[in-house]
Amino acid sequence: MTYLMRHRRIGQPGLDGVNDRAWHNRMITGHVGDTFCDKAIATSSSMPAPLTRLFIQTLNRHSPLKPAARTFMSTSTTTFPKNAVVEPHVLAKEPLEGADAHWIGLHRITYVDPQNRQRLWESAERKTRKAVGVDGVGIFPILRSATKPTRTLLVIQFRPAVGKKCVEFPAGLIDDNETPEQTAVRELEEETGYHGTVSYASTVMYSDPGLTNANMKLVIVEVDMDDDRNHKPEIKLEDGEFIETQIVPLEGLAERFEEMDKLGFAVDARLFHLAKGLALGRLLGL
């Protein structure tokens, strides 16, 4: 069994050899249960005691792993943010007046129903929509190589609204004087470091029409993994962005998300719907 675990050691050399506060990725092999934890203890013996306890508690919380979970861990390539020093978490939550909100507006809508009755509806709306009329893009990267099967690329980031790390496709808001296609190429490079070309852009779709008028386009971006620029991708995150990237096979994507949910991750609904659609397409021979 192969399980990917990460821990932080203050003042120790990072993956790039720099003596800083860095996340370390550690591949630990062993058996499920006590033997697995014994190996973890041996591997982490040089860690400070509080971090060792946290490390082992994390392993115990996720063990024993089911076969699907083991497959999920061993068939992906994950990159963690080097500038992270703690696990993100929510400290407080309080009501927010509309006038104090920078990014979201709350509206009361008066409308007429099919029986000609006036009714009220409450809606949240972004304040950042540009002249193009689309808030942002969701990016479906398709990673192709002459020597490897076709894969895709996921991002994992903490979402304060749900208080969890969320598994998503790369995405982003559209800037001034930018098309959705340009946004997709730019955001993919910034969030993941990969360069690609657009092969498809959807019509405008609405993310949660019962709550908000927020909309988006789904953009498919083809990524040539044999391109020299994609051999050592360089992420260009903005201040406040902490994004993990994960390259995964398209096969079994829906099952992967179900296992990640069991491990405490949130899964973006649009991402799961697409994954389930791929699975149903194979099942039905479509």
Q: Where a domain ends, among 19, 46, 65? A: 65
Q: Where a domain ends, among 41, 65, 89? A: 65
**Residue 64 binned pLDDT confidence (cut-offs 50, 70, 90):** very low
What are the tens digits of pLDDT across the range 9-40?
A: 333 333 333 333 333 333 333 333 333 333 33
**Residue 200 binned pLDDT confidence (cut-offs 50, 70, 90):** very high
Task: Please answer whether residues 179 and 96 qualify as being in contact, where contact means their C-beta atoms are separated by less than 8 angstroms.
Answer: no
CA separation for the pair 190, 282 (Å, rounded): 33
Q: Is 96 domain-assigned?
A: no
What are the Cα distances from residue 127, in Å, to 21, 107, 123, 133? 36, 12, 13, 12
What are the tens digits of pLDDT across the range 266-283?
A: 999 999 999 999 999 988
The share of the chain scoring above pLDDT 70, in percent, equals 71
Q: What is the pLDDT of residue 15?
A: 36
Considering the domain architecture, whether residues 141 and 275 belong to the same structural domain is answered as yes
Q: What is the pLDDT of residue 71?
A: 42
| Domain region containing 239 | 136-284
Q: Is 108 domain-assigned?
A: no
Q: What is the pLDDT of residue 85?
A: 79
Angle between helices 34-43 and 49-62 (to 10 degrees): 150
CA nearest 160: which of 98, 242, 245, 263?
242
What are the tens digits of pLDDT across the range 78-109?
A: 666 666 778 899 999 998 888 889 999 999 99
Does 72 score more than 90 pLDDT? no
Q: What is the pLDDT of residue 79?
A: 66
CA nearest 253: which of 225, 226, 281, 232?
281
Considering the domain architecture, whether residues 164 and 253 belong to the same structural domain is answered as yes
Q: What is the pLDDT of residue 52?
A: 39
What are the Cα distances from residue 156, in Å, to 56, 81, 98, 168? 23, 10, 29, 6
Q: Domain holding 166: CATH number?
A: 3.90.79.10
Q: Say how many domains are in the chain.
A: 2
Q: What is the pLDDT of residue 83?
A: 67
Q: What are phi and psi of 151, to 5 degrees?
A: -130, 180
DSSP string, the chain: -EEEEEEEETTSB-TTS-BSSEEEEEEEE--STHHHHHHHHHHTTTS-HHHHHHHHHHHHHH-SPPHHHHHHHHT-EEE--TT--S-----------GGG-SSEEEEEEEEE-TTS-EEEEEEEEES---TTS--EEEEEEEEE-SSS--EEEEEEEEETTTTEEEEE--EEEPPTT--HHHHHHHHHHHHH----EEEEE---EES-TTTB--EEEEEEEEEETTSGGGTS----PPTT---EEEEEESTTHHHHHHHHHHTT-EE-HHHHHHHHHHHHHHHHT-
**Residue 75 binned pLDDT confidence (cut-offs 50, 70, 90):** low
Q: What is the pLDDT of residue 67?
A: 38
**Residue 285 binned pLDDT confidence (cut-offs 50, 70, 90):** confident
Task: Please answer whether residues 3 and 28 qualify as being in contact, where contact means their C-beta atoms are separated by less than 8 angstroms.
Answer: yes
Does 68 score more than 60 pLDDT? no
Average pLDDT on 174-195 reads 96
CA nearest 257: which of 75, 265, 142, 150?
265
CA separation for the pair 104, 17 (Å, rounded): 42
Q: Is 223 domain-assigned?
A: yes
What are the tens digits of pLDDT across the range 130-176?
A: 999 999 999 999 999 999 999 999 999 999 999 999 999 999 999 99
Q: What is the mean pLDDT of the chain?
A: 79
Average pLDDT on 251-257 reads 93
Average pLDDT on 192-203 reads 98
> Could you tell me the pTM of the whole model?
0.72
Does 73 score more than 50 pLDDT? no
144: left (phi over 0), alpha (psi -120 to 50) or beta: beta
Considering the domain architecture, whether residues 140 and 279 belong to the same structural domain is answered as yes
**Which has more pLDDT, 60 or 199?**
199
